């Protein structure tokens, strides 16, 4: 990780952590539910999605009082998806971010409701943002509902389930991950552009960058499942191989997956070059995503 990116993360990650805690503490809900929601929110994690929103704003030299709040709602949606992914009916995982999963600590019923609570709270927070215009808030809500819902992340999860026990083509696997992983990550990047009232040209470049980075993120995840350890990853390593899941290495071989990772990285950087944004924090993030060890 470069010094510039490390400084950016060290500056902004505590802001996200504090905002997440504050947003949960402010709601009028049963304390047990709030505890379950906050347990998974504060279980660690890289905070790549909310940090990406702030990175776009830094790249565009825009300050916004609402930025950290918008970024935090994205982490709520992401965390809800992880809580539900870990359930016995889904991936049946006991470990997440190096800690017992939500249903292991609170039971399945409360884990489901904690996820539901985070999902619905995020949209209410966006609707009540004090400083953005009504048009900006509607666009954020609209795009997030698409990215997180049946046409995005949830749809991708269903495609992933339907693909179990089958041999997918590369195109079919990419469709799974464009939706399952890429949709929410793309929204994180585009949200920064929406807050900044970025031009159509910049929004198009961000969309292309986000598309390729979303795929790169998943390819590196698949590689790490083979090359990483449970201690590094904070979750069970090697589970994709044991469960015979469709992954980039299983279709392309490990070396082929690494070549595909580099192609996605290069395509993302080229998109930024077209709007002269290829020397800042977004390229640093792309480097980090393709070289990370967890």
In tens digits, what is the pLDDT along the chain, a chain of 294 residues?
788 899 999 999 999 999 999 999 999 999 999 999 999 998 878 899 999 999 999 999 999 989 999 999 999 999 999 999 999 999 889 988 788 999 999 999 999 999 999 999 999 999 999 999 999 999 999 999 999 999 999 999 999 889 888 889 999 999 999 999 899 999 999 999 999 999 999 999 999 999 999 999 999 989 998 886 556 555 555 565 555 678 999 899 999 999 999 999 999 999 999 898 877 899 999 999 888 877
d(CA 179, CA 93): 21
Contacts 24+ apart (CB under 8 A), 248-252: 248/173, 248/218, 248/219, 248/222, 248/223, 249/222, 249/223, 251/168, 251/169, 251/170, 251/173, 252/170
The DSSP bridge partners found for residue 217 are none
Residues 45-97: tens digit of each pLDDT? 889 999 999 999 999 999 998 999 999 999 999 999 999 999 999 988 998 87
* Positions of E strands within the chain: 95-96, 99-100
d(CA 20, CA 182): 22
Contact 44, 234 (CB under 8 A): yes
Query: What pLDDT is stored for residue 18 in this prediction?
Result: 94
Sign, Cα dihedral of 8, 138, 37, 49:
negative
199 DSSP assignment: -
d(CA 87, CA 240): 16
């Amino acid at each position: 990780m470069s010094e510039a990116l490390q400084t950016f993360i060290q500056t902004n990650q505590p802001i996200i952590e504090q905002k997440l805690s504050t947003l949960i503490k402010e709601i009028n809900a049963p304390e047990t539910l709030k505890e379950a929601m906050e347990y998974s929110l504060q279980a660690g994690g890289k905070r790549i999605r909310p940090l990406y929103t702030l990175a776009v704003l830094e790249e565009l030299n825009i300050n916004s009082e609402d930025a950290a709040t918008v970024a935090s709602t994205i982490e709520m949606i992401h965390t809800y998806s992880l809580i539900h992914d870990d359930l016995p009916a889904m991936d049946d995982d006991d470990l997440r971010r190096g800690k017992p999963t939500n249903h292991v600590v609170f039971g399945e019923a409360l884990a489901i409701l904690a996820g539901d609570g985070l999902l619905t709270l995020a949209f209410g927070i966006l609707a009540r943002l004090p400083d953005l215009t009504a048009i900006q808030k509607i666009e954020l809500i609209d795009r997030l509902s698409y990215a997180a819902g049946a046409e995005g992340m949830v749809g991708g999860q269903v495609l992933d389930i339907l693909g179990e026990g089958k041999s997918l083509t590369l195109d079919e696997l990419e469709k799974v991950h464009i939706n399952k992983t890429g949709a929410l990550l793309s929204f994180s990047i585009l949200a920064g552009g929406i807050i900044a009232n970025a031009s159509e040209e910049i929004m198009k470049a961000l969309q292309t960058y986000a598309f390729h980075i979303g795929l790169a993120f998943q390819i590196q995840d698949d590689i790490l499942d083979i090359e990483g350890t449970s201690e590094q990853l904070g979750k069970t390593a090697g589970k994709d191989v044991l469960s015979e899941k469709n992954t980039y290495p299983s279709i392309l071989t490990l070396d082929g997956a690494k070549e595909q990772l580099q192609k996605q990285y290069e395509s993302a950087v080229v998109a930024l070059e077209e709007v002269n944004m290829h020397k800042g924090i977004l390229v640093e993030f792309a480097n980090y995503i393709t070289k990370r060890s967890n």
